[in-house]
Chain A
Amino acid sequence: MTSFASLTSQVFALDPLLIGEFGWAEVGIVVLKAVVTFAILLVSVMLMVWFERKLIADMQHRFGPNRAGPFGLLQTLADGTKLFFKEDLVPDRADRVVFALAPYLSLVPAFLTFAVVPIGGGFDGEKNGTVELFGKETYLQLADPPIGVLLILAMSSIAVYGIILAGWSSGSKYPLLGAVRASAQMVSYEAALGLSVVAVVLMAGSLSTHDIVLQQSGSGFDLFGDFGLPRWNLIATGVVPFVIFLISGTAEANRPPFDLVEAEQELVGGFNTEYSSIRFAFFYLAEFMNTVTLSAIIVTLFLGGPAGPTLAGPAWLWGIVWFVLKLFVFLFTFVWFRATLPRLRYDQLMNLGWKVLIPLSLAWLLLLGAINIGRDEDWNLYVVMGASFAVLIIGWAAIAGALRVGQARHADEEAADSGDTEGVLV
């Protein structure tokens, strides 16, 4: 039994709850956590839909939903209920099995990602982020696999299948266009997303989300001396990976200004055009759940998750309070993006992804690696940084030169082509 327990603790989770004796109480706690996580996520999505509609209305100088319930809070519930009772249409030319499968492929990853996000816990002091639940030490997160960050990346990749398959199986042209856009967009931005996460992993030295939060708890970022700053990765990795993650995360979640996948003005509704009733509701749910989850991941990776000072009262409560506050900032930011930024053109999207974000995140990773090694080997920090910057500037010049040559050639070819056709026409 003990060997089995230790094996499970290594494979599935590092949660102290699962180390050592493993009985019905532990099973009960895990089941309770699963149910609570599920409920929190669903309720937060409901509130998020309301929050987004209300806030974007405010930013556009309107009222937003205000008829159903106090402040229109029950509008989402009303919409959801309505969708349940709508007719479920399947187009004649649809691939029925895939068409039915696709909504779940986009919904389930959205749920699973949230399972590895620490949403509370006493990170202030010596408790290492644990709380007492029914007399057992445990983390306030559903699961803490040693490969938590990889799980997040994997789930964000799988969620794309939902969109691609939905568009492809609809047997209709606009959904197909949306699906093609989705695949290209995801491939472009996943690289930048992954590279910016690597910067965080480099600082934390672990892929476990709990360890990443633990390493960010307390203050004392001291690269250039201790200014009492929090040890958030936002500061420790030098803001750039955070910005890259924010941008490419927005693109991964298909949120404006990167919502080319569903671009109403161009593709009717994009991949979900042919969907109706409960299946459409699943896509809608997944979309907003992705927004919440993405914000939660950003908070976990870059802003120390639930870590923060305990001001008064129990430590576990303050963990949740800090987490929700930080989460809220990002939910606001994403709505703000949507209210402000116009959708990118497709070539702008590709240029930003391949020519700006990926080189930049690679370069920043090199810089961080150099600084880390320099610190371990006790080299002079400023010399290391100077040398790194010099290398990066040379690299940047090389890339810029290559791009310019490529563009010039492209322009030449186009000019030659157009010259030919003119000759033919005349």
Chain B
Amino acid sequence: MGYLDGFKVTFKKLLEFPRLTKNYVKDEGGKRAKPARLHGRHVLNRYEDGMEKCIGCELCAGVCPAKCIYVRGADNPLDNPVSPGERYGFIYEINYLRCIHCDLCVEACPTEAITESKLFEFSFTNRADAIYTKAELVVDDDGLPQQLPWEDWSDLDLVAAATSAWVRATSPSGVADYEGKVAWSGELGFGVKPPEPAQEGDD
């Protein structure tokens, strides 16, 4: 009976354990190991000497499809530069009511200043809270961004690791010669990250 086979399928699934989906483990800290490339809230990284990586070029704001990033660059003060080079981002705001976590800002960034961490639990309750400013995004001296009241950081061992993000460009511009070679600068609190294992297969 072709028509009734479907009923068998759904009934079988009813009795099949464990379920395909997994429970949200908020009670266990909600911090099951995340995929390496998960797109969570952003962080603005710093070099290992404490200099900010952001140079205020506004490429991230330009590429953002949701128009959620607002950046203004300014000249570095000569006596106390914020970033290496001429300019730095002196305003940096991300509106999380608009952000779609597409990671295009990260790809656009020439200095790996902005990356997307694996922190995804940030449910603010008003519009003002949705706008993360530079104060929240730039990492502190320990390499962690600012914790906000609505973010659960109870399990710091897991959270700290999740604040550093995977960055692309194992082989810049797709040049195979650079595959497996480190092509990025060190990150405050995390150092120079190891290269990705060389990709195999033809994908």
* B154 interface residue (CB < 8 Å to A): no
Q: Whose C-beta in chain A lies nearest to the C-beta of B18? A: A61
Smallest Cβ distance from A306 to chain B, in angstroms?
A: 28
User: Which residues in B have their C-beta under 8 angstroms from that of A58?
Assistant: 13-14, 19
Docked-complex contact B23 and A61, CB < 8 angstroms: no
User: Which residues in A have their C-beta under 8 angstroms from that of B20?
Assistant: 61-62
Query: Which one of B19, B20, B23, B24 has the greatest number of beta carbons of chain A within 10 Å?
Result: B19
Which of the 9-residue segments B2-10, B68-76, B98-106, B171-179 touches chain A?
Answer: B2-10
User: Which residues in A have their C-beta under 8 angstroms from that of B9?
Assistant: 340
Docked-complex contact A59 and B19, CB < 8 angstroms: no
B6 touches which one: A63, A67, A340 (CB < 8 A)?
A340
Contact with B along A36-60 (1 / 0, CB 8 A): 0000000000000000000100111
* B21 interface residue (CB < 8 Å to A): yes
Contact with B along A105-131 (1 / 0, CB 8 A): 000000000000000000000000000
Docked-complex contact A336 and B21, CB < 8 angstroms: no
Q: Whose C-beta in chain A lies nearest to the C-beta of B26? A: A67
User: Which residues in A have their C-beta under 8 angstroms from that of B13?
Assistant: 58-61
Contact with B along A58-86 (1 / 0, CB 8 A): 11111100110000000000000000000
Docked-complex contact B6 and A61, CB < 8 angstroms: no
Docked-complex contact B7 and A63, CB < 8 angstroms: no
Smallest Cβ distance from A270 to chain B, in angstroms?
A: 24
* B16 interface residue (CB < 8 Å to A): yes
* A339 interface residue (CB < 8 Å to B): yes
Docked-complex contact A61 and B21, CB < 8 angstroms: yes
Rounded to whole angstroms, the CA-CA distance of A61 and B20 in the bound complex is 6
B16 touches which one: A55, A61, A67, A341 (CB < 8 A)?
A61
Rounded to whole angstroms, the CA-CA distance of A63 and B20 in the bound complex is 9
Rounded to whole angstroms, the CA-CA distance of A55 and B11 in the bound complex is 10
Q: Whose C-beta in chain A lies nearest to the C-beta of B9? A: A340
Q: Whose C-beta in chain B lies nearest to the C-beta of A59? A: B10
Compute the total of residue contacts between A and B using a CB distance below 8 Å.
Answer: 32
User: Which residues in A have their C-beta under 8 angstroms from that of B7?
Assistant: 336, 340
A66 touches which one: B6, B14, B16, B23 (CB < 8 A)?
B23
Rounded to whole angstroms, the CA-CA distance of A395 and B152 in the bound complex is 73
Rounded to whole angstroms, the CA-CA distance of A336 and B14 in the bound complex is 10
Rounded to whole angstroms, the CA-CA distance of A336 and B7 in the bound complex is 7
B10 touches which one: A62, A63, A340 (CB < 8 A)?
A340
Smallest Cβ distance from B19 to chain A, in angstroms?
A: 5
Smallest Cβ distance from B27 to chain A, in angstroms?
A: 11
Docked-complex contact A62 and B11, CB < 8 angstroms: no
Contact with A along B166-201 (1 / 0, CB 8 A): 000000000000000000000000000000000000
User: Which residues in B have their C-beta under 8 angstroms from that of A67?
Assistant: 24
Smallest Cβ distance from B2 to chain A, in angstroms?
A: 13
Contact with B along A304-345 (1 / 0, CB 8 A): 000000000000000000000000000000001001110000
Docked-complex contact B19 and A336, CB < 8 angstroms: no
Q: In A275-328, which residues have CB < 8 Å from any B CB?
A: none
Beyond A61-B21, A62-B21, A63-B21, is A336–B16 a contact (Cβ under 8 Å)? no
Docked-complex contact A61 and B11, CB < 8 angstroms: no
Rounded to whole angstroms, the CA-CA distance of A339 and B14 in the bound complex is 11
Beyond A58-B13, A58-B14, A59-B13, is A341–B6 a contact (Cβ under 8 Å)? yes
Query: Which one of B10, B13, B16 has the greatest number of beta carbons of chain A within 10 Å?
Result: B10
Docked-complex contact B10 and A339, CB < 8 angstroms: yes
User: Which residues in B have their C-beta under 8 angstroms from that of A55?
Assistant: 14
User: Which residues in A have their C-beta under 8 angstroms from that of B19?
Assistant: 58, 61-63
User: Which residues in A have their C-beta under 8 angstroms from that of B16?
Assistant: 61
User: Which residues in B have their C-beta under 8 angstroms from that of A59?
Assistant: 10-11, 13-14
Q: In B19-56, which residues have CB < 8 Å from any A CB?
A: 19-21, 23-24
Rounded to whole angstroms, the CA-CA distance of A234 and B20 in the bound complex is 38
Rounded to whole angstroms, the CA-CA distance of A123 and B16 in the bound complex is 39
Rounded to whole angstroms, the CA-CA distance of A59 and B24 in the bound complex is 19
Known: A62-B21, A63-B19, A336-B7. 10 other contacts (CB 8 A): A58-B13, A60-B10, A60-B13, A61-B19, A61-B20, A61-B21, A336-B11, A339-B10, A340-B6, A340-B7
Please list 8 pairs of residues, one from A and one from B, whose beta carbons are closer than 8 Å in the complex, sorted by A's number: A55-B14, A59-B10, A61-B19, A67-B24, A336-B10, A339-B10, A340-B6, A341-B6
Give 8 nearest A-B pairs by CB, closest first.
A61-B20, A59-B10, A340-B6, A339-B10, A62-B21, A340-B10, A58-B14, A61-B13
